[in-house]
Amino acid sequence: MEFPQTPLGIVILNACPQRTLRETRAIILSEAGYYPASAGTAEEATCLARSVICSAAIICHSFKPDERRLIQRRIEKVVPATKIIQLKSWGNNDPLVLLSSIKEAIGEA
């Protein structure tokens, strides 16, 4: 599958506790021209948010609800300008819908 290229230098935080899903999203992001910064835990996501300037953060539906809220609060506290994308278990699992959500969040749409 070919994805439209984006300008270089846009880092997307990709937080997902499921390794296979996280790696698949990282490939999709990379092929679309983004730089994925992937995290498997809330702690990893927080560390990445502190050390890398991310334009957007994808928070996977497979985290428990309290973990999703915790990740979002931490990112918003550390880097308030980061756009948060909370994924649902349906809809934005489609690569094109995911990329469209990112573009809309960061103002590329």
How do the pLDDT tens digits run along the chain, 109 residues long? Answer: 555 554 558 999 999 999 999 999 999 999 999 999 999 999 999 999 999 999 999 999 999 999 999 999 999 999 999 999 998 876 556 888 889 999 999 987 5
pTM: 0.86
What is the residue extent of each domain of the chain?
Answer: 11-106
Domain spanning 11-106: which CATH class is it, in words? alpha beta
Q: Judge contact between 109 and 96, C-beta under 8 A.
A: no
Specify the pLDDT at position 18.
95
Helix ranges (H only) for 6-109 are: 19-31, 42-51, 65-78, 95-106
Q: Are 86 and 59 in contact (CB under 8 A)?
A: yes
